[in-house]
Amino acid sequence: MSKLEIIDLHVAVTADGVQQEILSGVNLTINSGEVHAIMGPNGTGKSTLSETIMGNPNYQVTGGDIRLNGRSILNMQVDERARAGLFLAMQYPPAIAGITNAEFIRAAVNSRRSADQQVGVMNFLPELDKRLHQLEMPEDMAERYLNAGFSGGEKKKNEILQMLMIQPAFSILDEIDSGLDIDALRIVAAGVNSMRGPKHASLIITHYQRLLNYIVPDVVHVMKGGVIVESGGPELAKELEQTGYEHLGAE
């Protein structure tokens, strides 16, 4: 059983030489087997939290801690965090010309495995085909350059493809539903649900309650002004649909 703990986390970014605090004391504990959702207004720090958990160096931790199974991961680089089981589906996945999607995903899978567990092309490609089929993605997506010219929805599906291939212990899914058509939303949600189980946990950032009809979370948190101002069950997301965020928090 694994546990990810965010403890009184303070995070700042530096823009034009000025340091600005974005997260002002976030507390959150996610155990394997659980699905947590974070909702909240634009610009409130949701992506900042996900990038900080993954170790993006643009985000400076100025206080608090992030612990995986009781051990601080703050000194670990992105690749070490990935090997420790963390995975982030980015809100804005970057395109990389010159490396194919298949090459990228195989490298991502192998970078998380020990030298004697590396997956060769012959074993990798049938599994990739299976996952492409599961997500109803065309087979040629494997041979295209990573995210280059992918539509918004294709990029999102591709993040889920990576998650299914990597089989991480903790998945952070930042607006995985943005830009998805109605059918794609259902397919992506089914992909996420297929990861559910005692060995996996996820943190799902979304603006839309609709996604949470498909992926029913155990806990819903509301982030506002860089802190979590409310937590509850799936009914909280439904309430927010009616009430908005105005009445929550100190802002």
Which residues of the chain form contacts with ligand ATP (CB under 6 A)? 13, 15, 22, 40, 42-48, 58, 91
Q: Which is nearer to Mg ion, 47 or 206 (CB)?
A: 47
- What is the smallest separation between the CB atom of 86 and Mg ion, expressed in angstroms? 18
Q: Which is nearer to ligand ATP, 40 or 55 (CB)?
A: 40
- What is the smallest separation between the CB atom of 207 and ligand ATP, expressed in angstroms? 6
Residue 43: contacted member of ligand ATP, Mg ion, none (CB under 5 to 8 Å, by partner type):
ligand ATP
Residue 7: contacted member of Mg ion, ligand ATP, none (CB under 5 to 8 Å, by partner type):
none
**Residue 74 neighbours by CB under 8 Å, 6+ apart:** 61, 65, 66
- What is the smallest separation between the CB atom of 113 and Mg ion, expressed in angstroms? 30
Q: Which amino acid is at 137?
A: M
Residue 48: contacted member of ligand ATP, Mg ion, none (CB under 5 to 8 Å, by partner type):
ligand ATP
- What is the smallest separation between the CB atom of 166 and Mg ion, expressed in angstroms? 22
Binding site for Mg ion (CB under 5 A): 46-47, 91
Whole-number Cα distances in Å, 69 to 61, 80, 84? 19, 14, 10
For residues 100 and 108, the answer to whether their CB atoms sit within 8 Å is no
Structure tokens that stand for 187 in this block: 């397919």
For residues 89 and 174, the answer to whether their CB atoms sit within 8 Å is yes
**Residue 181 neighbours by CB under 8 Å, 6+ apart:** 153
Residue 117: contacted member of ligand ATP, Mg ion, none (CB under 5 to 8 Å, by partner type):
none
CA quadruple 98, 100, 104, 110: dihedral sign: negative
Q: Which is nearer to ligand ATP, 166 or 223 (CB)?
A: 223
Measure the CA–CA gap between 222 and 111, rounded to whole angstroms: 34
